[in-house]
Amino acid sequence: MGEMSAVLSGEPIWIEVLSRLHHDVAARYRFVSLPVTVGRAYDNDVVLDDPHVAAHHLRIARGEDGALIAEDLGSLNGLYIDRERARREHVVLDAGHDLRIGATILRVRTATHEVPAEVPVMRGLGFWLPAIACMAGVFALAALDLWLSETGEPKAIRYFTPLLILTAAVFVWTAGWSVVARVFTGRARFGLHFLIVAVGLLAYSVYDMIAEAGAFAWSWTALATTSYVAAWLILGGICFAHLLAINRARRPLKIVLAAILAAAGIAMQTLKQAEYRSTYGQPVTLSRLEPPALRLVAPQREAAFFTDSAALRAKLDKARTEEPDGSEALDDSDDGG
């Protein structure tokens, strides 16, 4: 009965064997009549070479209601869908799920399966144009920064060396991600990865410039001394974007990975800064002044400045007794008391 109705329903189906690596279609078979059997034996309609597939592994037929059903014919390794771990005896097929038998992945689609809209062919530069524009911005800002801090004899080499190193680093970084993408998805997408790093660098360049000038303009030293935090956050963002560009799966995991990278970087650099300070006693002050016209805050009154300076005394007195670094001073005062 079932077989008759399948024949009568007449709608052809496609069985596609997918590659394990990128889930590309490796082979595609069209069937007008059902049922169809799948297995290693040569009397099947679809013959697979997978040693983990049974001689007669799978039977695809229409149920009484006309739905396509895949049925395990009693194999050793069983029938699964997608990445699930639970073995199925039979599966009602719809276009959204892949079948897994042995080490083979199958997809069953009917002729009415809807395909996504046509993607326009990338003509000319595609991602390259915005990427190059962003990189031009990065270079321009870097060169501007170098020029504005040029106080000695102007030398071209001062500009070329850092810009060349930057170019090489961007190329190596982009190439690295492209290779990873190529391995996992089969598509390198160099242009897209280039765009991601270019946007990230531009964002950092702009932030850094604002932070440097803002630290002076608003008299807020911490803005300049903590710009590494922004650098690591942006790096985390860049890595997340790269991972997403490779494929869209496992988004939460990727967010966590990027967050861990940023957090680890920030923690490391904060620690390093503290360590450096305690080893060399470097004061934390603004390292770069800007032209007076850039000042945006009202100046402190002289008296207020000295009141704030006087307030540091408590901090110093506390540090004097607390910090264990100068062990000798502490040892002796202990003995004295």
Q: Smallest distance from the beta carbon of 334 to other proteins, in angstroms?
A: 11
Q: Smallest distance from the beta carbon of 287 to other proteins, in angstroms?
A: 5
Q: Smallest distance from the beta carbon of 150 to other proteins, in angstroms?
A: 6
The structure tokens listed for 142 are: 């870097």
Q: Which is nearer to other proteins, 114 or 328 (CB)?
A: 328
Cα(69)–Cα(35) distance, rounded to whole angstroms?
A: 10
Q: Which is nearer to other proteins, 112 or 327 (CB)?
A: 327
Q: Smallest distance from the beta carbon of 276 to other proteins, in angstroms?
A: 11
b (16+ CB within 10 A) / e for 33-61:
ebbbbbbbeeebbbebebeebbebbbbbb
Q: Smallest distance from the beta carbon of 281 to other proteins, in angstroms?
A: 3
Sign of CA dihedral 174, 176, 177, 178: positive
Q: Which is nearer to other proteins, 213 or 244 (CB)?
A: 213
Q: Which is nearer to other proteins, 81 or 217 (CB)?
A: 217
List residues near other proteins by CB under 8 A.
Answer: 147-153, 219, 221, 277-293, 295, 297-303, 305-306, 308-313, 315-317, 319-320, 323, 325-326, 328-330, 332-333, 335-336
Cα(190)–Cα(128) distance, rounded to whole angstroms?
A: 9
Q: Smallest distance from the beta carbon of 131 to other proteins, in angstroms?
A: 29
Cα(229)–Cα(209) distance, rounded to whole angstroms?
A: 14
Q: Between the CA atoms of 23, 31, 74 and 20, what dihedral angle is there, to the nearest 10 degrees?
A: -10
User: What is the SS3 assignment for 207?
Assistant: helix
Cα(208)–Cα(155) distance, rounded to whole angstroms?
A: 24
User: What is the SS3 assignment for 64?
Assistant: coil
Q: Smallest distance from the beta carbon of 213 to other proteins, in angstroms?
A: 10
Q: Which of 49, 96, 58 is nearest to 77 (CA)?
A: 58
- Contact call for residues 52 and 103 (beta carbons, < 8 A): yes
Cα(173)–Cα(157) distance, rounded to whole angstroms?
A: 24
Q: Which is nearer to other proteins, 85 or 313 (CB)?
A: 313
